[in-house]
Amino acid sequence: MKNNDEQLSLLVKKADDISSAMDMTDEIANEMGFIHYDRLFLRLVTEEACMNAYEYCQKTNQQGFWICWDHHHKDCLSIFIKHRGKKFAITPMNGTNRGLRGRGLHLIVNLMDYVQIQENGEYVELVMRKYFTQNLKEGIG
């Protein structure tokens, strides 16, 4: 685990590291004041994004990927997943996906306030952001 000021990062090499990433997301979100309900969704989004990256890295013989958390803005938590690869499109789904694949990214897009795929050289980065609403209290919403 690396800590650069307000940005934390974790190199995910094995499936067990995904659980650590989920715990870190929950811990950061809790410290920021996110309600329990939102923290559960943030854990789920972290798991989905990490599993997608983990499976891709396994298929392409990569040693792992990085997950980073940026919480220096008081109004949002940003989560980044970075690994070698090419940019892909996030296409909106119409109707229900009954297939075995593709629901995770759809779930991420619907649970997060901002989702973008960025390509930088030989790396691709999934950027996810959830905004904090201070007027929500625990148990409401």
- In this predicted model, what pLDDT tens digit does every residue of 33-54 receive, in sequence order? 999 999 999 999 999 999 999 9
Total of domains in the chain:
1
Tens digits of residue pLDDT in 6-27: 579 999 999 999 999 999 999 9
Q: What is the extent of the structural domain holding 92?
A: 2-131
Q: Is residue 81 part of a domain?
A: yes
Q: Is residue 123 part of a domain?
A: yes
Q: Is residue 137 part of a domain?
A: no
Q: Is residue 6 part of a domain?
A: yes
Q: Residue 81: pLDDT above 90?
A: yes
Of the candidates 105, 62, 114, the one whose C-alpha atom is nearest the C-alpha of residue 83 is 62
Q: Is residue 139 part of a domain?
A: no
Q: Is residue 8 part of a domain?
A: yes
- Sheet with 76-84, strands from edge to edge, namely 2-4, 7-12, 65-70, 76-84, 123-131, 114-120
CATH number for position 68 = 3.30.565.10
pTM of the shown model:
0.83
